[in-house]
Structure 1
Amino acid sequence: MRAGIKTVLALAASLAVAASGDAAGPAVGGYAGPITDAHAHLRLGADDGLLDNQPIGTVALREIDASAGVTRSALIVIARRGDMAATRRQNDAVIAAAKASGGHFYPVASVHPLDGAPALAELERLAKLGVREIKFHPNTQNFDVADPAVDTVVEKAGELGLVCLFDSYKPWDANEMGKFLLLSVKHPKSRLVLAHIGFSQFREAIAFAQIKKLNMGGNVWFDTSATVSAFAESPMAPELLWTMRQIGMDHFLFGSDWPVDTPAVAAAALRRLGLTPAEQRAVFHDNVQKLLGLPPEAG
């Protein structure tokens, strides 16, 4: 299963690099302030890298962030099913890594939604420790967004004030975006971030703009990782920008999906997409600050 997942991730990486090139390129227009990368993965050991060549720890990412103007970054981990002791150790490790960074990193912990009551107890523990966001990955964790267990953890996260970050691209589930739509409606007090805007299915995200007319769907945000890098210089770029504006730029967060893309490449792609300076500021910084209640950057 993990081999198949790595194949999909490698394909996504190749698409992103093909679209955006190896170098970041010049900034296009406007915003030159602080940047928060809302989607970067932490590798803790030999068996949990998103890619085989991903460095362990935070040193390399901190250096890459500095070169890209990233002043704050998420550190994401992904829990495996059936081993709550390992899940707790992983969560404690990402919390410790963020704490040791002096505020540069913030932890995005994880539980597996099919781990039942122990997963809910872990959410309670994480909330008490100050974690603000929880990662769920339907591909890597191998679950269906429509599973009732997902409803349970999303509802619990909402009760605890935790934001739920979901990967939103599952090539073998053509109905996934619709499932997220239903999930958001069923749990209006829970806040969801859909990473990658559905990737090649980003057109379907326009449904969230439509249901806002019915006073629903305002609890959903999207991060730009992978998708903007892949499509920023494609014939579909104007449609992607139009879709984002229809949903509302106040509901988009910048993300690199490191190590699939570097923050510099992802940031350059977002600038090339055609956002105004005010829109860039919102997506690069202000939206995630507001959503997660992050403190001001040091200095």
Structure 2
Amino acid sequence: MNVDDLIAIDIHTHAEEPCGCHPDDGYDDFQAAMATYFKAPYEHPPTMVETAAYYREKKIGCVIFPVDAERETGFRRYANEEVAGIAAENSDIMIPFASIDPAKGKAGAREARRLIDEFGIKGFKFHPTMQGFYPNDRSAYVLYEAIAEAGAIALFHTGQTGVGSGMRGGMGMRMKYSNPIHLDDVAVDFPDMPIIMAHPSFPWQEEALAIAQHKPNVYIDMSGWSPKYFPPILVKYANSILRHKMLFGSDWPVIKPDRWLADFEKLEMKDEVRPLILKENARRLLKI
């Protein structure tokens, strides 16, 4: 990856159908509800190869990952190895993260070490609401230990989610797990593990900003929302004391970078802050 040639690095993209196959019968209603919630600009989720082509054309690097939520949702997970393999074939534009349900305990920790050593995985995506766990539950720590030992990154969904929105019972998704305050404990107990809190953390935005300011190893990605909907306090902190902690993310494929970047241009953001958010902060965090 030649970062100097890129206009941005998108820290938050999803590998929806890495093999180009219909993933899971139970996935259809869920995907339809997600598309409605986000007014998603596609009929079928793009494959990873299609994703790579899009990002290559736009000259945007991307961190890409699946979500392992088999236990809580019943949906088959995409193999981390497959995601990593396709990312390796498109390494000029893609950086692979993996996902492991913390409930897998020591087996999950073994998988994490193998993925890092053999597949070049740079970080791990957690979705507490989809995976049904509090991030500071000590049962997850054996997995965090493996991640921290390798110097990899832990990225956590925070705040409200489009997953299950409008579906009966919210598809069983419980938003309480994604309150960012639970990550304060993780940041204390793993002070050298980079932690990314994904999305504006509605309705707990101030908790997220406080943690990112207080803990040196905690960052915020600005994915999942168009910038025109950002809370004023998020913009204020991004423009000032957290300018080195904010990361561009789109939440592809439900939000395209084109839309996010166009709305970001209209945001009242200092000229010297824009390149930090779009690329330089991620470049430093990812060590590329």
- TM bracket, shorter-chain basis: 0.7 to 0.9
Q: Using the TM superposition, give the Cα deviation of residue 63 of structure 1 relative to its aligned residue in structure 2, in angstroms.
A: 4.5
User: 4+ residue runs of structure 1 moved beyond 6 angstroms?
Assistant: none
Alignment length (residue pairs): 250
**Partner AA of 1:182 in structure 2:** D
Does 1:253 pair with 2:251? no
Q: Is the 8 A contact 2:9 2:62 kept in 1?
A: yes
CA-to-aligned-CA distance 1:209-260 (integer Å, 9 cap, x gap) = 553xxxxx0000110002453614xxx43x2211324541111110000122
RMSD over aligned CA atoms reads 2.6
The unaligned stretches of length 5 or more in structure 1 are: 1-31, 212-216, 295-299
Q: Is the 8 A contact 2:116 2:150 kept in 1?
A: yes
The secondary structure found in structure 2 opposite 1:222 is strand
Return closer, same or farther for 1:200/1:92 CA change in 2, 3 Å cut-off: same
Return closer, same or farther for 1:247/1:226 CA change in 2, 3 Å cut-off: farther
Structure 2 match to 1:185: 188
Structure 1 match to 2:48: 58
Greater RCO, CA 8 A, separation 6+: 1
Mapped partners of 2:91, 2:183: distance in 1: 35
Percentage of identical aligned residues: 24
Structure 1 match to 2:22: 46
Q: Is the 8 A contact 1:37 1:70 kept in 2?
A: no
Q: Is the 8 A contact 1:199 1:227 kept in 2?
A: no
- TM-score when scaled to structure 2? 0.77
> Equivalent residues in 2 for 1:1-299 (5 A)?
34-44=7-17, 45-47=21-23, 51-52=31-32, 53-66=43-56, 69-81=58-70, 90-128=79-117, 129-170=119-160, 172-173=175-176, 176-208=179-211, 211=214, 217-229=215-227, 231-232=229-230, 236-237=231-232, 239-294=233-288
Mapped partners of 1:196, 1:246: distance in 2: 18
Which 10-residue stretch deviates more, 270-279 or 127-136?
270-279
Return closer, same or farther for 1:103/1:245 CA change in 2, 3 Å cut-off: same
**Partner AA of 1:35 in structure 2:** A
**Partner AA of 1:219 in structure 2:** N
Structure 2 match to 1:7: none
Return closer, same or farther for 1:248/1:210 CA change in 2, 3 Å cut-off: closer
Q: Is the 8 A contact 2:101 2:131 kept in 1?
A: yes
The secondary structure found in structure 2 opposite 1:278 is coil
The secondary structure found in structure 2 opposite 1:261 is coil
Q: Using the TM superposition, give the Cα deviation of residue 207 of structure 1 relative to its aligned residue in structure 2, in angstroms.
A: 1.4
Mapped partners of 1:102, 1:75: distance in 2: 11
CA-to-aligned-CA distance 1:153-209 (integer Å, 9 cap, x gap) = 223211111100110125731882211112111210111001003134222223125
- TM-score when scaled to structure 1? 0.75
Mapped partners of 1:280, 1:123: distance in 2: 34
Structure 1 match to 2:171: none
Q: Using the TM superposition, give the Cα deviation of residue 130 of structure 1 relative to its aligned residue in structure 2, in angstroms.
A: 1.6
Return closer, same or farther for 1:209/1:138 CA change in 2, 3 Å cut-off: closer
